[in-house]
Each structure stands twice: as C-alpha cells, then as structure tokens.
Structure 1
Amino acid sequence: MSIIDKFVHSMTLAGACSRVLFLDKELLVFPLLSLMALCGVFGGLFGPVVATGGLEGLMAYASDPEQVMNDPAYWVVLFILYFLCFFVVIFFNAALIYCAMIRLFGGDPTVMDGLRSSWRVLPHIFAWSLFAASVKLVLDFLASRSDFLTRLVASGMGMAWGIATYFAVPVLVVEEVGPISAIRQSASTIRKTWGEALITHVGLAAFHSLILLIAFLLGITGSTYIETQPAIGVSYIAAGVVIGLLSILIVTTLNGILRAALYVYAVQGKLPEAGMFDETLLRDAFERKR
C-alpha cells in the first residue's frame, strides 16, 4: 500500500467514524470535559504560584535545565502532573469509547451512560493512570540523559509502549481489568490481528495538522491587523482559536470511535452491527507484517 493509498484509506475510515459522530454529536462533550478538566489541573497546580507572585522565581528556576533535571522535587511534581493528566484523559476517553461501542452495536448512548461506565471502572482507571505516569516519568528521565544511545533507547521504548497500549482503554472499558492485564490483552490483540504498524492515525493526524495550520495562519493574519484595524484582527484571531479548538474536539472524538470499532473487530472478528464500517477498511487499518 503506497503512502497515497494509506492517506486515502485513513480518510475513508475517518469518514466512517464521522457518520457515527453525526448520529451522536454529544460524544464531543467528552473531549470538551477532558479539556476543561485539564485546564483545572494546570490551574490548580500553577495558579497559586502565579497568585502569590512566584512566577518570576519559577521562570528563573526553569532557566537552568541541568539544575532542574537533577532536582528530585521536579520529578515528584512532574509525576503528580502526569498522573492527574492521565487520569483525566483516560476517564473521559473511556466514557467516549463506551458510548461509541453502544452506537456501534445499534444502541443510542447518552453522556451519562459514558460517565457511569467510567465511574464503574474508576479503580482500574486510577491504577492505570499511576502505571502510565510511572512509565512516562521513566521514559522522560532516560530521555533527559545527555548520551545519544540512552535517548534513542527511550524513544524506541516510547514507541513500543504506544503500540502495546493502543487498545488498553477499550480493554479497561470492556474487560474491567487492571493495568498489567490491560497491557497484556492490548498487546495480544494487536499481535493476533494484522501487525503492529497502525496506519489510520496518519491520515487523521495529517488532517488535524492541516486544520491547525489554517487556524495558525488565521491567528498570524489577525495579529498583523491588531494595531491598524483591531476589530478585524480580533475576528481573525478568534476564528483561528475556535477552529483550532473544534478540530481538537472532533479529531479526538473520531480517534475514540475508530479505536472502539477496531477493538470490536479485532476481538470478535466481525463488523460492528451498526454497519457503518466496511470490513476491508477495518482489516486494512493494520498493515500486516511481512
């Protein structure tokens, strides 16, 4: 399959996901809630620093990377930040994937269905967030080392981690298992299907990058008008911000729907009952190892 074929294939899959989203526009609520909660996390952690006038000291501290990397307090704070972010993202991703599965099997999900599902597996989400934050911290620590080989190993481990955990959230939602079992089942699902090189996100990522580029160009254009024609400048900037945020919400939702559909097909070996995905699309979403 050529690069162009992969891109076209990914766009076709995105179109199938968009039909699910068209039927359940409320699925956009989950990434929106996730984004709002993440803003709350960062506000809660760094808001007091800004409020107490400690921003200047924080910037001075961050200006010496070597000192920062050798400070245990930095890694403790980073772990807390990673844990909270993982918890928020996984909680709402799990809700999104659960609702997507309801739709794929012919149901009509609500936002509360998804939230109740995530609440039901809250202990597993908590455990997974701790585990994922620990792995991320170790990878970051290795990547912060000065030697090239260590950074290369960390990069490879990060890629392997991303592949192995691709189906971790669907496994948490469906099987209600802990992090180790989720990783094992996720990796097994990928191995026993069609390979490890996922190509579908290439198209979605390209589409998202294009939209973000348009939003960025609108913002740049607006900034050139700020001094001479403020109203026009603000309009361009506002349009760029809105387009950028909408693209994040839509692409995140499409990714969740896609992951749910691929998981159903990978585990059960059959199409979702809603009939929105062609079997060839799902089968070719993974590139078979040679």
Structure 2
Amino acid sequence: MGFMDKVRNGWKICELSLEVLRSNKKLIIFPMISCIALFIIISSFVFGFGYFNNWHFEQLNDPDHYIKRYSFTFLIYLISYTVVIFFNIALMHCVRLYFEDKEVSLSIGIKYSVSRLGYILSWALFASTVGLILKIIQDNVGKLGKILVGFLGIAWGVSTFFVVPILAYENKTPWNALKESISMMKKLWGESLTAGFSFGILQLCAVVVFLLVSFIVGLANIYLGIALFILGMVLTSSVFSALNSIFISAVYTKVSTDIDVKQFSATDVNQLFESKKK
C-alpha cells in the first residue's frame, strides 16, 4: 500500500472516530474526569510539598537538592501516567463494548480499569523512569543534547502509541508491551500518524475558534472571557482525547481480535485491517 493510500485511510479512520463519538457522547466523560482528577491530585501534591518545605520551591533548582528535585519530578510523572492511563483504559474498554453492542457506562469502565491496576502501575513506573532519565539528560547536556532528547521524546511517543490497549487486554510486562506497540506501529505507521495529524489540525482549529470567541467576550467582561476560554480548552482537550482513544481502540480491536467493528466497515479501511491480520 502506497503512502497516499495510508494518508487516505488515516483521514477515513479519523472521520469514523468522530461518528463513534457522536453516537455515544457519554465517552467524553472519561477524559473530563481524568483532567479534573489529575488537576486535584497534582495540586494537592504540590500544595503538600510546598507546605512541608515552607513554600521554598526555588530550592528545587539548587544543585544541592537534585535528589529532591528529581524525586519530585518522578512522582509527578508517576501520578500523571497512572491517572491518564487508568481513565484511557476505562474509555477504551467502553469503546470495545460499544463495538460489541453491549452496555456502556462509567461504572463498567472504571471497574475494568481497577481490574487492570497492576498493569497500569507497572507501566506507569516504567514510563516514569524513562521520562526521568530523559529529563536528567536534558538538564545536564548542551544544546545538541537537548535536541537529541527532543527526538528521543518524539520516538518514545510514537513507540508507545498502542501501549494502552495492550495494557488493557494483554498480560504483558512493560517491556513486552512496548515491543508489541512498536511492532503494531511499524505496520500501521501511515494510518496512525495521519489520523493523529488530522486530530491535531481539528483541535488547533477548535482552539483558535474558542480563543477568538473568548477574546470578543473578554472585551465586554474579562472574567467571563477567561472562564469561557478555560471551559473551551477543557472541552476541546476532552473531545480530542476521546477521539484519539476511540481511534486507537478501533485499530487495535480490528487488528488484534475477531470482533466486527461495524463502524469501521468502509471497504478500503476494512481491507487494510484484514491484510494486517494476515
């Protein structure tokens, strides 16, 4: 399959993900709760750290406190990965249930994520360690090293593209989950990157619209304008997080299972998935 065919499939999958979300709008609840939970937990953690250190956050930049600084960074990474993956797995499980024409609810998704908590925590520890290593390198090398770390970060993001559904449905160690994700990405890189790019363009357009509307409203009432912008950013982030999870779940389901994802039955896309299975 040529590059342009992969691009067309990526856009098609993006459109189909939008259709799935329109058909089941309750899926947006998961990223919204994730965003709120992450804000509350990290805010509480930062408040507690500040309280017990007399609010001297500047000491984190002191070379003599590098252990405290990197321990703080690691814990933030760990909390973030755990919360985000927990709710992403809940969402993806509900997406699969939706594909199977089964009941979808918040409680069902949360219960399933709880059942996968061991795999979620093991991956969070693994990913946080990788993130911390990259952070340490970034803080202690020159400009060339920072550029290298930037590329490594991009490679890490691409390599872990399919990790969440693998954690959700396969009993793999973090290392094996990473290898499986890389293997899937090698087969579906064109569709995956194109769909991701498509979501990015749409999200950017949504942000620009909210920014303009908020600016106009802010001319009359600055507080209302700020509130509208924050609400718009939360809503936009939640919608596109849900779309991305639907897309990843659909691709993983079609490639790795025998479940008939009817919403993704377009001939070109279906043939792509069948060829990957073979």
Shorter-chain TM-score range: 0.7 to 0.9
Tell me the distance in 2 between the aligned counterparts of 1:282 and 1:271.
Answer: 12
Which residue, 241, 245, 260 being the options, matches 1:252?
A: 241
Aligned pairs for 1:29-178 within 5 A: 29-48=29-48, 54-55=54-55, 57-58=56-57, 60-61=58-59, 67=62, 71-178=66-173
Structure 1 or 2: more helix by fraction: 2
Offset, 1:113: 1.8
Check whether the contact 2:207–2:233 (CA below 8 A) recurs between aligned residues: yes
Which residue, 216, 233, 236 being the options, matches 2:225?
A: 236
Check whether the contact 2:94–2:104 (CA below 8 A) recurs between aligned residues: yes
Check whether the contact 2:32–2:234 (CA below 8 A) recurs between aligned residues: no
Tell me the distance in 1 between the aligned counterparts of 2:230 and 2:81.
Answer: 25
Q: Deviations over 1:8-35 (max 9, x none)?
A: 7655433311221123222111111101
Runs (5+) with no aligned partner, structure 1: 286-290
- For the residue of structure 2 that corresponds to 1:146, the secondary structure is coil
Q: Which residue of 1 aligns with 2:21?
A: 21
The one-letter amino acid paired with 1:77 is: F
Offset, 1:156: 2.4
Which residue, 212, 216, 240 being the options, matches 1:217?
A: 212
Offset, 1:157: 2.0
| Change beyond 3 A, Cα 1:53–1:161 | closer
Check whether the contact 1:94–1:169 (CA below 8 A) recurs between aligned residues: yes
Note if 1:261 corresponds to 2:250: yes
| Change beyond 3 A, Cα 1:71–1:53 | closer
Check whether the contact 2:74–2:132 (CA below 8 A) recurs between aligned residues: yes
Q: Which residue of 2 aligns with 1:274?
A: 262
Offset, 1:116: 1.4
Check whether the contact 2:100–2:259 (CA below 8 A) recurs between aligned residues: no
Check whether the contact 1:103–1:274 (CA below 8 A) recurs between aligned residues: no
Which residue, 176, 190, 203 being the options, matches 2:185?
A: 190
Identity of aligned residues (%): 21
Check whether the contact 1:127–1:179 (CA below 8 A) recurs between aligned residues: yes
The one-letter amino acid paired with 2:263 is: G
**What RMSD, in angstroms, separates the aligned Cα atoms of the two structures?**
3.0
- Per the normalisation by structure 2, the TM-score is 0.84
Runs (5+) with no aligned partner, structure 2: 274-278
Tell me the distance in 1 between the aligned counterparts of 2:271 and 2:147.
Answer: 32
Tell me the distance in 1 between the aligned counterparts of 2:250 and 2:76.
Answer: 31
